[in-house]
Amino acid sequence: MKSDQDLLITRSCSKYGNDPGRVIDILWEIQKSLGCVSYEAMEKIAATINTSRVQIEGIVSFYSFFSETPKGKIIIRLCDDIVDRHAGVEQIAVVFSEELGIGIGQTSPDREFSLEYTPCIGMSDQAPAALVNDVVVTSLTPDSARETARRLKANPDTSKLVAAKGDGNNGHRLINTMVKNNIRLKGEVILADGIQAEAGLKKALSKTPLEVIQEVVESGLRGRGGAGFSTGEKWRLAQKALASKRFVICNADEGEPGTFKDRVLLTERADLIFEGMAIAAYAIGSDSGILYLRAEYAYLRPFLEAVLEERRKSGLLGSAICGKKDFSFDIRIQLGAGAYICGEESALISSCEGLRGEPKNRPPFPVEKGYLSKPTAVNNVETFCCAARIMDRGSSWFAGIGTKASHGTKLLSVSGDCAKPGVYEVPYGVEVAALLEMAGAEDTAIVQVGGASGDMIGRRSFNRKICFSDLATGGAITLFNSSRNVLAIVDYYLEFFAHESCGYCTPCRVGTVFLRERIQKVMHGFADKADLEYLQELGKTIMITSRCGLGSSAPKCVLHSIAQFPLVYSSHLKESLDGLQPGFNIQKALEESRRIAKRKSMIYDPVFGNEGE
Amino acid sequence: MSDVIIFKIDGVEVSAKPGQTIMNAADEAGIYIPRLCDVEGLEPQGSCRVCTVKVNGRTAAACTQPAAPGMVVENDTLEIRNCRRDIVRMLFHEGNHLCPCCEASGRCELQALGYRLGILQPDKYPYLQPVRPVDASHPDIMLDTNRCIRCGRCIRASRHLDHKNVFGYIGRGIYKQVGVNGKNLAQTDVHVDDHAVAPGICPVGCIIQKRRGFYDPVGQRKFDVNPIGTEIEKHLKDAGGKK
């Protein structure tokens, strides 16, 4: 048994060339076959790939999908996003608990099942949803959850859970999922029908790399992940940096709560993404690329691998692409392992290198020293799609869409309280109010633009526009009607940030925990005005001093909600009539002494004296 | 490019050599920028954020930010002082820092910075009160991670100076902590003479050498004699005549 395990480990390690840089792939194999990465397994891996056990433990304990203790053969991960909570995931959890006889966070004694909560799995448009190993189940109801649990008990083959396949490529034999695309609005850049395959790549290859970069600069394309850096400038910097090797990385670690548009692109526009990556590679002079795929989208991997293989066969990847003698480029897929922070580009690079997914110090920036210290262009899935289209249709076509300063279209993932959740491709400049109308949202009170790290706005601000100069966003638009509790939403986002903080820097690691503690105090009615000042000051410190975007955006939900919904906060504040701190409950504090002394307080009890007298 | 970089810290002109950080240049100029995770002889990490400064209006960690010509650095301003105080408080409240009974008292950099920044009493933040077991397995060294501030100095010292891997970060978020390369410290290849466990590497009382407790009398302890930062500021006084 012991030697079986050792054999498996040495085999997994040698499959990846005993390369410590591929340790995440190695750990995935071991986690899948052994159900955990035990202390002994870590020792064996460390010895095989020549690193230390504590470093392996550092990685295993960093990523949510790895576990040091044995997990069940079937792991059910219920999506615990705020939209799923509002859609009743708690009831679903109760059903699974009853059926499987285990609570959340537990594994059944026979090691058949584990049940847990996980942050947003990118299915907010069909919530509540869950991952059953790699299989996605969506739009759960208590009945369908019960049915799912019973089926799994009768037959552990998770692929049998897919009864009705989703639309489009979701029904492809290599995806085979019940996930629906929910494409509600097709814009002219990415989701339009009849996009000519590889037209962008072919036109790019007829130009010089510098001309390609110039075209992208002139189009005004800015990063679609949220930060909005000029794509052309990024490529220019990567191209200019002196190096023997350069990399192109596609960020498909779509982890922002409430976003799912990359899921749809990976399903329906895989070729366009890879085409865009090849264009970037040609422009900056790179011969290798990585698609970093979040673990929650592992169900898309076989399909994506097949698309890559098909491209190799058709001469669109590999050497002499499209007959261009000096241009070779290939792409590998790096599967993540459950860490939101890896959506941050330098953390994503750390993760590709087989490290804890912690952001790197900047400077140097990834365009100078990125993956393996080589110049690296990291772009969002949607950005690569745009780049391919720009090469085909030209920069002025692209610049003609959207607003003066924000060119092109934006894919929005709309979910929450509305009749038509799904993906909307809109030109930049669309008003929030127009979006609500399109989505069939009624009685909307709160719109969260950009997910947990984004902007929270109330009715007064529904005339604001989606564009870089107003509401810049990666695309998550989460809608809440007036029955929802603002504080519960803020509490959820803080819980999310505290859970997903990598812990590297003090303000984010500790500050997010402190923010949440105080928001809960407000929720429970124990806070006074001073606590709001505390929240604002603490939020400001965290924003100023955090090392990366996670920390600097975590307090936004607190600060925005205080500014946008002051009445909600003031209605929760406790008036302090007795002059005591609101958090202090004198009756509760006296209870124990009353019990021990067997008498009441002279001051605080109206009728005092010894008990029983 | 010229070999001397000239920039300003709080209006004072400072020079740096190419490749130096703001922190390096400030140290040489006798301007103290408070810090915890950075220590001489180890690669800077930029994690504690105590050395936060504003560079041309944007925040950066002085220990990792390279000096550049003409940059305008804000160090000792009200806003930055408040941020640093908040961060030091966060560290105090994250762990169990009971100075009167801690062996590191008087040479603890966290305590010394608390004094320097005017933090003299417990305050607004809640205490997280961790209850991690103390590792006293090793004959010469004791590890109390409840006092750890995640500065990673022991990790870097072990890796880069001792060429071992005794320590490493494990966990994530608030659960991030320093782990050891064994079931406990006794099972690792740590030696009492390693740089990683030498006095001055751990800035707090997390790594303690056994049988040496409380060896400096109060009044003669490291920071009793020279409060934190004064060694660097002494440069300024020494160079006072020239400036």
Q: What is the tens place of the pLDDT at every residue in A229-278?
A: 999 999 999 999 999 999 999 999 999 999 999 999 999 999 999 999 99
User: From the CA of A506, how many Å to the nearest CA of chain B?
Assistant: 5
Question: Pairing between strand A409-416 and A476-481?
Answer: parallel
Q: Does B126 touch chain A (CB under 8 A)?
A: yes
Give SS3 for A215. Answer: helix
Domains delineated in chain B: 5-77+226-238 (3.10.20.740)
Question: What is d(CA B133, CA A16) in angstroms, rounded to the nearest whole number?
Answer: 37
Locate tokens 């976003």: which residue?
Answer: A259
* DSSP element (H, E) containing A180: none
- Percentage of residues in chain A with pLDDT exceeding 70? 96
Residue type, B226: N
Q: Which of A358, A537, A344, A546 is nearest to B59 (CA)?
A: A546
Question: What is d(CA B47, CA A526) in angstroms, rounded to the nearest whole number?
Answer: 34
Backbone dihedral angles phi then psi of residue B200, each to the nearest 5 degrees: 95, -20
pLDDT at residue A609, as a whole number: 53
pLDDT at residue B213, as a whole number: 85
Q: Which of B143, B130, B206 is nearest to B174 (CA)?
A: B130
For the domain A496-613, what is the CATH code?
A: 1.20.1440.230
Report the CATH architecture of A185-399: 3-Layer(aba) Sandwich (3.40)
Q: Is omega for the bond preceding B122 within 30 degrees of 0, making it cis?
A: no
Residue B2 pLDDT greater than 90, yes or no: no
Choose from A342, A368, A541 for mutation: most chain B CBs within 10 A.
A541
pLDDT digits (tens, 9 = 90+) for A98-115: 999 999 999 999 999 999
Q: Which residues of A touch B (CB under 8 A)?
A: 39, 51-55, 57-58, 61-62, 339, 356, 361, 363, 498-507, 509-514, 517, 534, 537-538, 541, 544-547
Determine, for residues A541 and B173 on separate chains, whether the beta-carbon distance falls below 8 Å. Answer: no
What CA–CA distances, in Å, run from A144 to A91, A104, A124, A163, A236?
A: 12, 19, 18, 11, 52
Q: Does B20 touch chain A (CB under 8 A)?
A: no
User: From the CA of B4, how many Å to the nearest CA of chain A?
Assistant: 20
Question: What is d(CA A247, CA A269) in angstroms, rounded to the nearest whole number?
Answer: 22
pLDDT digits (tens, 9 = 90+) for A344-359: 999 999 999 999 999 9
CA nearest to A56 within chain B: B170
Q: Which of B213, B169, B26 is nearest to A58 (CA)?
A: B169
pLDDT digits (tens, 9 = 90+) for A516-570: 999 999 999 889 889 999 999 999 999 999 999 999 999 999 999 999 999 999 9
Residue A431 pLDDT greater than 80, yes or no: yes
Chain B residues in contact with A507 (beta carbon < 8 A): 49, 86-87, 90
Q: Does domain A410-481 bear CATH number 3.10.20.600?
A: yes
pLDDT digits (tens, 9 = 90+) for B185-204: 999 999 999 999 999 999 99
Residues 6+ apart with CB under 8 A from A16: A22, A25, A26
Confidence category of residue B243, pLDDT binned at 50, 70, 90: very low
Q: What is the mean pLDDT of chain A?
A: 95
CA A189 to chain centre: 24
Chain B residues in contact with A547 (beta carbon < 8 A): 46-47, 49, 61
pLDDT at residue A2, as a whole number: 65
Q: What is the mean pLDDT of chain B?
A: 94
Question: E strands, A294-406, where?
Answer: 330-335, 376-380
CA angle (A577 as vertex; A573, A578 as ends), nearest 5: 120
A71-85, A385-399, A572-586, B143-157: which range is least confident on average?
A572-586
Query: Which residue in the set B91, B169, B183 is minimally distant from A356, CB to CB?
Result: B169
Residue type, B14: V
Q: Does B124 touch chain A (CB under 8 A)?
A: yes
The answer for A408, left when phi > 0, alpha when psi is -120 to 50, beta otherwise, is: left
For residue A130, give both structure tokens.
């869950």
What CA–CA distances, in Å, run from A10 to A5, A20, A261, A321?
A: 9, 13, 39, 36
pLDDT at residue A612, as a whole number: 44
pLDDT digits (tens, 9 = 90+) for A483-530: 999 999 999 999 999 999 999 999 999 999 999 999 999 999 889 889
Question: What is d(CA A259, CA A229) in angstroms, rounded to the nearest whole number?
Answer: 20
Instruction: Report the pLDDT averaged over residues A327-354.
Output: 97
pLDDT digits (tens, 9 = 90+) for A10-56: 999 999 999 999 999 999 999 999 999 999 999 999 999 999 999 99
Residues 6+ apart with CB under 8 A from A336: A24, A63, A253, A292, A293, A294, A295, A342, A351, A357
pLDDT digits (tens, 9 = 90+) for B174-190: 999 999 999 999 999 99
Chain B residues in contact with A511 (beta carbon < 8 A): 90
Q: Is omega for the bond preceding A119 within 30 degrees of 0, making it cis?
A: no
Instruction: Report the pLDDT averaged over residues A591-604.
Output: 79
Q: How many CB pairs under 8 A join A and B?
A: 122
For residue B152, give both structure tokens.
């990673």
State the pTM of this model: 0.94
User: From the CA of B59, how many Å to the nearest CA of chain A?
Assistant: 6
pLDDT at residue A613, as a whole number: 39
Which residue ranges make up each domain of chain A? 4-62, 74-163, 185-399, 410-481, 496-613
pLDDT at residue A577, as a whole number: 65
For residue A102, give both structure tokens.
């285990």
Residue A213 pLDDT greater than 80, yes or no: yes
pLDDT digits (tens, 9 = 90+) for A111-167: 999 999 999 999 999 999 999 999 999 999 999 999 999 999 999 999 889 889 999
Residue A173 pLDDT greater than 70, yes or no: yes
Question: What is d(CA A41, CA A47) in angstroms, rounded to the nearest whole number?
Answer: 10
Q: Which of A375, A368, A376, A371 is nearest to A351 (CA)?
A: A371
Question: What is d(CA A479, CA A439) in angstroms, rounded to the nearest whole number?
Answer: 10
The answer for A503, left when phi > 0, alpha when psi is -120 to 50, beta otherwise, is: left
User: From the CA of A270, how many Å to the nearest CA of chain B?
Assistant: 33
For the domain A74-163, what is the CATH code?
A: 3.40.30.10
pLDDT at residue A592, as a whole number: 85
Instruction: Report the pLDDT averaged over residues B150-171.
Output: 98
Residue A217 pLDDT greater than 60, yes or no: yes
Determine, for residues A55 and B165 on separate chains, whether the beta-carbon distance falls below 8 Å. Answer: yes
Confidence category of residue B9, pLDDT binned at 50, 70, 90: very high
Determine, for residues B174 and A363 on separate chains, whether the beta-carbon distance falls below 8 Å. Answer: no
Residues 6+ apart with CB under 8 A from A7: none
Question: What is d(CA A185, CA A413) in angstroms, rounded to the nearest whole number?
Answer: 11
Residue A289 burial by Cβ neighbours in a 10 Å radius (0-12, 13-18, 19+): buried
- Percentage of residues in chain B with pLDDT exceeding 90? 91
Question: What is d(CA B53, CA B79) in angstroms, rounded to the nearest whole number?
Answer: 10
Q: Write down the ipTM of this complex.
A: 0.96
User: From the CA of A153, how many Å to the nearest CA of chain B?
Assistant: 33
